[in-house]
Amino acid sequence: MAEHPSYELLYHPAIPGRGEFVRLAFEAAGVPVTDIANSEKDGYSEVQKICANKDIESSDGNPPIFSPPALRVPGKGRDGKALVISQTPNILLYLGDKLGLVPDDEAGKLYVNQLTLTALDLANEIHDSHHPIGVMLYYEDQKTEALRKAKDVRENRFPKFFSYFSRVLEHNERNGGGGKYMVGDKLTYADTTVWQVLDGVSFAFPKELEARRKEFPLLFDTFYENLKQEKGLKEYIKSARRLPFSQGLFRYYDELDRQ
Amino acid sequence: MAEHPSYELLYHPAIPGRGEFVRLAFEAAGVPVTDIANSEKDGYSEVQKICANKDIESSDGNPPIFSPPALRVPGKGRDGKALVISQTPNILLYLGDKLGLVPDDEAGKLYVNQLTLTALDLANEIHDSHHPIGVMLYYEDQKTEALRKAKDVRENRFPKFFSYFSRVLEHNERNGGGGKYMVGDKLTYADTTVWQVLDGVSFAFPKELEARRKEFPLLFDTFYENLKQEKGLKEYIKSARRLPFSQGLFRYYDELDRQ
Q: Say if A34 is an interface residue toward chain B (CB within 8 Å).
A: no
Assembly ipTM: 0.98
pLDDT digits (tens, 9 = 90+) for A176-200: 877 799 999 999 999 999 999 999 9
Q: What is the pLDDT of residue A68?
A: 97
Q: Which residues of A touch B113 (CB under 8 A)?
A: 87, 90, 93
pLDDT digits (tens, 9 = 90+) for B127-136: 999 999 999 9
What backbone phi and psi angles, to 5 degrees, belong to A85? -130, 155
Q: What is the mean pLDDT of residues B23-31?
A: 98
B112 pLDDT higher than 70: yes
Q: Examine residue B235 and state whether it is found in any structural domain, yes or no.
A: yes
Q: What is the pLDDT of residue A158?
A: 98
C-beta separation of B232 from B27 below 8 A: yes
Q: What is the pLDDT of residue A176?
A: 82
Same domain, B216 and B190: yes
Same domain, A226 and A108: yes
Q: What is the mean pLDDT of residues B19-45?
A: 97
Same domain, A236 and A140: yes
B50-55 contacts: CB < 8 A, separation 24 or more? B50/B10, B50/B84, B51/B10, B51/B86, B54/A163, B54/A167, B55/A167
pLDDT band at B2 (very low <50, low <70, confident <90, very high): low
Q: Mean pLDDT lowest for which of A157-161, B53-57, B251-255?
A: B53-57
Same domain, B113 and B237: yes
Domain that holds residue B90: 8-98
Q: Examine residue B47 and state whether it is found in any structural domain, yes or no.
A: yes
A1 pLDDT higher than 60: no
Cα-based distances in Å from A45 to A52, A53, A58, A62, A74: 10, 11, 13, 18, 19
Q: Examine residue B224 and state whether it is found in any structural domain, yes or no.
A: yes
Same domain, B109 and B202: yes
B178 pLDDT higher than 80: no
Same domain, A127 and A82: no
How far is the alpha carbon of A87 from chain B, nearest alpha carbon, in Å? 6
**Percent of chain B clearing pLDDT 90 (strictly above):** 94
Contact call for A110 and B172, based on CB within 8 A: no
How far is the alpha carbon of B116 from chain A, nearest alpha carbon, in Å? 10
Same domain, A88 and A109: no
Same domain, B108 and B86: no
B165 pLDDT higher than 90: yes
Provide the number of structural domains found in chain A.
2
**Closest by Cα among A219, A115, A211 to A154:** A211
pLDDT digits (tens, 9 = 90+) for A70-122: 999 999 998 899 999 999 999 999 999 999 999 999 999 999 999 999 999 99
Q: What is the mean pLDDT of residues B2-17?
A: 94
Give the nearest chain A residue to B161 (CA atoms).
Answer: A66
Q: What is the mean pLDDT of residues B44-54?
A: 92
Indicate the residue among B98, B120, B136 that finishes a domain. Answer: B98
Same domain, B111 and B231: yes
Interface-testing mutation among A18, A21, A54, A56, with chain B (most B C-beta atoms within 10 A): A56
Interface of B with A in 164-183 (CB under 8 A): 164, 167-168, 170-172, 174-175, 183
B79 pLDDT higher than 70: yes
Q: Examine residue A75 and state whether it is found in any structural domain, yes or no.
A: yes
Contact call for B64 and A167, based on CB within 8 A: yes
Same domain, B14 and B44: yes
pLDDT band at B120 (very low <50, low <70, confident <90, very high): very high
Q: What is the mean pLDDT of residues B95-123?
A: 98
- What kind and span of H or E run contains B86? strand B83-86
Same domain, B48 and B154: no
Q: What is the mean pLDDT of residues A26-39?
A: 97
Q: Which residues of A touch B170 (CB under 8 A)?
A: 56
- What kind and span of H or E run contains A71? strand A70-73
Q: What is the pLDDT of residue A177?
A: 78
